Amino acid sequence: MALPALLLPLLLAAAASAAGDGCRSGCDLALASFLIARNQNLTYIAELFAIRDYRSLGPYNPQYPNLDFIPADATVNVSFPCGCRSLPREPAATYLAGSFPYLVRSGETYDSIAAHFSNLTTAAWLAATNTYPATNIPDTGVTVNVTVNCSCGDPGVSKDYGLFLTYPLRDGQTLAAVAANYSFSADLLRKYNPGMDTNTSGLVFVPVKGQHFYLLLCDPNCGQFSSILGF
């Protein structure tokens, strides 16, 4: 069954409100906050995001000196390119996202596929961004695209930030709670996430200062910088 005609614009509006109202181009780097489940490890997460070597995630996770021993229920930052994409049924409708190929196994649904990605996407969004109907996904070696929304910033809000973390609201969190957790200006975070002020689910985008972030690679006091940036 195809998506209802009214649902597609609503899904796109939700993506646009957070990741930018349409796009012409993307950016080379975005980050996603991934909550590790008990049956997952960084090798598995890297495979989900089409990352060949999980060790390449080390610079984005300086709080973990050994990437082979990260506890369950911890969060890791996953890097990916943020591209300008269009909906298959509505090519003029564009949005920012990373796209990752996922090989469908027998009996899987968009719900079960989305469940692998730690609330970074939803079944409805997978249905909107793939050509296969939700009730008729072939299970014989078919690949679907898993899209994770991202942001490249908005110079109209601030020119100080070009790197953004896609963060799924968890356990009833609000935008204000995220701002407090990341020691970030709540007012500025609202400007980057219009319409999300009272939401307790969905994706929000947290700005990260690139020059401060890369200091993590060489500064011996990583814990101090990590607490400032929320990493």
The answer to whether residue 40 is domain-embedded is no
The answer to whether residue 131 is domain-embedded is yes
Report helix, strand or coil for 29.
Answer: strand
Does 164 have pLDDT greater than 60?
yes
pLDDT of residue 31: 97
Pairing of strands 163-168, 203-208: antiparallel
Q: Distance of CA 116 to CAs 35, 130, 164, Å? A: 10, 17, 22
Name the domain count of the chain. 1
The answer to whether residue 47 is domain-embedded is no
- Give the CA radius of gyration of the chain: 17
With contact defined as beta carbons under 8 Å apart, do 195 and 17 qualify?
Answer: yes
Instruction: State the pTM of this model.
Output: 0.83
Across 115-119, 166-170, 198-202, 206-210, least confident range: 206-210
Report helix, strand or coil for 137.
Answer: coil
pLDDT of residue 209: 67
Alpha helices in 129-185 (DSSP H): 175-181
Q: Distance of CA 132 to CAs 91, 104, 157, 205, Å? A: 16, 12, 37, 29
The answer to whether residue 52 is domain-embedded is no
The answer to whether residue 48 is domain-embedded is no
Q: Could you report the per-residue pLDDT of 207-217, keeping only the tens digit for each? A: 986 444 443 33
Dist. CA 36–CA 62, nearest whole Å? 16
The answer to whether residue 117 is domain-embedded is yes
Query: Containing domain of residue 175, as a range?
Result: 1-33+84-225
Q: Could you report the per-residue pLDDT of 2-50, keeping only the tens digit for each? A: 455 444 444 554 554 445 468 989 999 999 999 999 889 999 999 999 9
The answer to whether residue 70 is domain-embedded is no
Contacts of 215 (CB under 8 A, 6+ apart): 225
How sure is the predictor about 83, in pLDDT bands with cuts at 50, 70 and 90?
A: very high
The answer to whether residue 3 is domain-embedded is yes
Query: Which amino acid, 77?
Result: N
Q: Distance of CA 32 to CAs 6, 82, 93, Å? A: 29, 11, 23
